[in-house]
Amino acid sequence: MKSTRKHIVILATVAVAGSLLSFTAPMANAADKDGVTSSRSFPKVNQTKKDLLAESTSVSVESSSKWSLGTMSVPKTKSTAEQAAEQAAQERAEAAAAAAAEAAEQSAAASRSETRSESTSTASASASATATTVSASSSAVVSYANQFVGISPYVYGGTSPTTGWDCSGFTQYVFAHFGISLPRTSGAQASVGTAVASLADAQPGDLIANSTHVGIYAGGGMVVNALKPSVGTAYSSVATSFTGGYSIRRVL
């Protein structure tokens, strides 16, 4: 009887032990599926650290390398606001340059206009001065000729106030002083300048000439002339100095 009970206890123990074993195996499998690491499935932690250090060493930069961040060219992208600001600044600069060019052109045009105006004024003043000089010379010619009266002798063919001159030499010398060139002979001088209709219209400084004699009209029917050797340079009337016809010529 005791032996039978002992066998029953042993069987029960074995059965319990088998149940426990059958329960433990699924638990291990479930643990594996849930990510529990066992010494059979994963490498040692120390080995993993060694590998990480080795990889870190493999990407290190050698001290002798010439690589530098400064040599890299990285394009910079501008924002819309920056691009708009640059465009506006460029437009302002172009507008300012155009305005400066236009102002310079206007200034140059004004300068040219002023220069033309000054030139016109100068020319007008010069013409006026010339007209005044010519007008004054009508009397100046007679005044200049007067200094030789009673001093310079008459010499046929002469042209000098000191050694003597003839009638056309005298008139040629006087008018040359005023920049007017006359022909050498009295007949040639009778056709220069502008003809005056009559003695009533003659003015001091006009030439009165024919083929044989020439003098300078002094006004009042008188001429100043190199008349003849016995008289020399003197005043005489037109009627006395000229026999026959004569021509009145205005050369001033």
Residue 19 domain-assigned (yes or no): yes
Pick from 177, 188, 193: nearest CA to 213: 188
pLDDT at 82: 75
Please check whether residue 41 lies inside any domain of the structure: no
Instruction: Establish if 43 belongs to a structural domain.
Output: no
Q: Establish whether 29 is a catalytic residue.
A: no
| Residue 54 domain flag | no
Judge residue 242's burial from the number of C-beta atoms within 10 Å of its C-beta, 0-12 exposed, 13-18 middle, 19 or more buried.
buried
Give me the pLDDT at residue 223, please.
Answer: 98
- What's the pTM? 0.49
Write out the two tokens for 58: 């493999």
Sheet containing 207-209: give its strands across: 194-195, 247-250, 207-209, 214-219, 222-228, 232-237
Q: Taking the alpha carbons of 81, 85, 90, 91 in that order, is the dihedral positive or negative?
A: positive
How much is the pLDDT for 6?
62
Is 187 within the bounds of a domain?
A: yes
Residues 6+ apart with CB under 8 A from 158: 164, 165, 166, 169
CATH number, domain of 149, equals 3.90.1720.10
Q: Residues 7, 29, 46, 167: which is the catalytic one? A: 167
Domain count of the fold of the chain: 2
Task: List the domain range (segments joined by +) for residue 25.
Answer: 1-34
Q: Which of 7, 46, 210, 213 is catalytic?
A: 213
Q: How many residues can be counted in the chain?
A: 252
Q: Which ranges constitute the DSSP H helices of 59-79? A: none
Instruction: Print pLDDT tens along the chain (252 aa).
Output: 556 666 666 676 666 555 555 544 444 444 444 444 444 555 555 555 555 454 544 445 555 555 454 555 555 666 787 777 778 778 777 877 777 777 777 777 766 666 555 554 554 444 444 444 444 478 899 999 999 999 999 999 999 999 999 999 999 999 999 999 999 999 999 999 999 999 999 999 999 999 999 999 999 999 999 999 999 999 999 999 998 899 999 998
Q: What is the pLDDT of residue 74?
A: 53
Residue 130 covered by a domain: no
Catalytic-role residue among 29, 46, 146, 225:
225
Pairing of strands 164-165, 194-195: unpaired
Flag whether 222 is in a domain. Answer: yes
* Residue 213 known to be catalytic: yes
For residue 225, indicate whether it is catalytic.
yes
Could you tell me if residue 224 is inside a domain?
Answer: yes
- The pLDDT value recorded for residue 99 is 76
